[in-house]
Structure 1
Amino acid sequence: MQGMSMGRQRGFSLVDLMLSMVLGVFILGGVVSVYVSTVKSSSDTLKSSKLNTQLLAIMSIMSNDIRRAGYWANFDSDPSINPFNQKNDSALEVIDSLAANTIIASNTNAGGECIVFSYDQNENGVLDADSEYFGYRLRSGAVQMRVNGTVSAGDDCSDGVWQDVSDSDLYVITSLTFNPKNSQCVDSSEPNRVDDDGANGEDDDAEADCYLHIPASGSNETTVETREIEITLAAVLVNDSDVSMEITQSVRVRNDLIRVR
């Protein structure tokens, strides 16, 4: 009987096993690192997306509301007597802050933290002091809206009843500005062949800009203001200060401010 020949079998040495284990640990560490990084990136993206959605919703509310400023159901009447477009009361104004409560001139490149205005919400042609003065402002890290309450001074950022429209439990509003820098004012009586501003002895184009050359009171000159407001809104998450967002939108007010000086 022929004998069976068995080859000598050799396994892994201890050194081979240790090297394999070390290599495996490195590979596993790399996989875990990539996984953690991916999860964190996905989490940050989700947080940013949620914050962006919240800010876009607030921006939409403000921009749609501001567009209606000065609306009057009796549009076929003399626009200069529009009760929703009266300076020093119901007309749209940008105010620097709740603390200072000072109106910002429309021809300056300056933003304010509050905007106030009115419009004919119930379309009865009459300005209702307890329900048709509106506004938005920044207060204590929140966006607030003027909702109701009897208002005695429409261009006062502290008058009336205000309530939060942003969620302070989720995020803090770090900035809210309204900038009227792109607004324009035109004197419809120009050119009138008169050097009204006394600048160079002739009737120049600058006199048609009623922000630069304000018609004298009692002159019966008619001016038309087109208002455009640039809104900037920024916020940061309460539970993650690394996640922040800022959005900007320009709003053209549909109803021009027409005045007889």
Structure 2
Amino acid sequence: MKAAYRQRGMSLMEMLIAMSISLVVSLAMVGLMANTLGTGTETIGSARLTSEIRAALQIMTRDLRRANYHANYIKCFGNLDCRDILNNGDGNVENYIKPITVTGGSCFFYWFDRDSDGDGTDDDPVGAFRRVVVGGVGVIQMTTTRENAPSCNSGNYWTAITDPDVINVTNFFVSNALSYTDTVDGATQTVDKIALVITAQLTGNAAVQRTVQDVIRVRNDIFAPAP
């Protein structure tokens, strides 16, 4: 006759130990998931920040390279006196052939024949960019609707090229210190080189910050004949 066998389950102590181990593992998994999600969110935000400031820099670069452009520049090939004949009889070449102006290190403007008609009296030749603070957030703005030099401190003709809901531009630095003028036999050639630096952070997370910079070599040099 077989002896009776009494089956036993987990003791209270064993159950408490198992629950404690499960709780530790669960907390570790929750922490890992939270960290992964947080890192992913920060990565997405960083990518968005980089994209925004690079887009702003690209807008400035492409427009600035056209500074001092005039539709009748073909008349300047091999002709140092082209400044006297560059307009088409209606326009004023002095509207376009001007050094780039940098104001306060965070605003600049330049001139060119934007509609390529060789006439300086019927278009809006000025291009300009500046940094301002709107609602506590730094924004880069541009204008292309001025026939006269714009004001870097006022005016309702400025349009934002950065989104204040996404990024806060904390610094915008502009310098023309790299520009230079060569002189040969009394004739001069002015070469404009403009350095741009943008530093920005996420509007909702100041810990995520990026800086981009570039040096733009303006394509249209300024020639002046010997006096």
Normalised to the residue count of structure 1, the TM-score between the two structures is: 0.72
Which deviations, in whole Å up to 9, do the C-alpha atoms of 1:7-39 show, x marking residues without a partner?
443322111111111111111111111110000
Match of 2:15 in 1: 17
Going from structure 1 to structure 2, the CA distance change for 1:22 and 1:79 (only over 3 Å counts) comes to farther
Q: Note the 1:41-56 alignment, pairs <5 A.
A: 41-56=39-54
For 2:102, the aligned partner's letter is V
Match of 2:100 in 1: 92
Query: Residue 40 in 1 paired to residue 38 in 2?
Result: yes
The counterpart of 2:208, out of the listed 233, 240, 243, is 243
Query: Residue 184 in 1 paired to residue 177 in 2?
Result: no
Going from structure 1 to structure 2, the CA distance change for 1:76 and 1:159 (only over 3 Å counts) comes to farther
Which deviations, in whole Å up to 9, do the C-alpha atoms of 1:140-171 show, x marking residues without a partner?
221111221442xx375458732222222322
Q: Quick one: distance in 1 between partners of 2:42 and 2:4?
A: 62
For 2:116, the aligned partner's letter is E
Match of 2:163 in 1: 167
Q: Once the 2 structures are TM-superposed, how far is the Cα of residue 61 of structure 1 from its aligned partner?
A: 0.6
Q: Once the 2 structures are TM-superposed, how far is the Cα of residue 85 of structure 1 from its aligned partner?
A: 4.3
Aligned-residue sequence identity (percent) comes to 25
Match of 2:222 in 1: 257
For 1:237, the aligned partner's letter is L
For 2:14, the aligned partner's letter is D
Q: Once the 2 structures are TM-superposed, how far is the Cα of residue 57 of structure 1 from its aligned partner?
A: 1.2
What secondary structure does 2:205 align onto?
A: coil
**Which runs of no fewer than 5 residues in structure 1 stay unpaired?**
97-111, 190-220
Q: Once the 2 structures are TM-superposed, how far is the Cα of residue 183 of structure 1 from its aligned partner?
A: 2.2
Which deviations, in whole Å up to 9, do the C-alpha atoms of 1:200-249 show, x marking residues without a partner?
xxxxxxxxxxxxxxxxxxxxx21112211121112222222222221112
Q: Once the 2 structures are TM-superposed, how far is the Cα of residue 65 of structure 1 from its aligned partner?
A: 0.3
Query: Residue 113 in 1 paired to residue 113 in 2?
Result: no
Q: Quick one: distance in 1 between partners of 2:218 and 2:70?
A: 13
Aligned length: 208
Question: Retained in 2: the 8 A contact 1:70–1:257?
Answer: yes
Question: Retained in 1: the 8 A contact 2:177–2:194?
Answer: yes
Q: Quick one: distance in 2 between partners of 1:123 and 1:40?
A: 51
Q: Quick one: distance in 2 between partners of 1:40 and 1:15?
A: 37
Q: Quick one: distance in 2 between partners of 1:249 and 1:177?
A: 11
Query: Residue 131 in 1 paired to residue 131 in 2?
Result: no
Going from structure 1 to structure 2, the CA distance change for 1:95 and 1:7 (only over 3 Å counts) comes to same
Question: Retained in 1: the 8 A contact 2:96–2:113?
Answer: no
Give the helix-richer structure, 1 or 2.
Answer: 2
Q: Quick one: distance in 1 between partners of 2:163 and 2:150?
A: 26
What secondary structure does 2:190 align onto?
A: strand
Which deviations, in whole Å up to 9, do the C-alpha atoms of 1:184-209 show, x marking residues without a partner?
221112xxxxxxxxxxxxxxxxxxxx
Normalised to the residue count of structure 2, the TM-score between the two structures is: 0.82
Give the strand-richer structure, 1 or 2.
Answer: 2
Q: Once the 2 structures are TM-superposed, how far is the Cα of residue 63 of structure 1 from its aligned partner?
A: 0.4
Going from structure 1 to structure 2, the CA distance change for 1:244 and 1:174 (only over 3 Å counts) comes to same
What secondary structure does 2:17 align onto?
A: helix
Match of 2:141 in 1: 144
Q: Quick one: distance in 2 between partners of 1:145 and 1:181?
A: 22
Query: Residue 83 in 1 paired to residue 94 in 2?
Result: yes
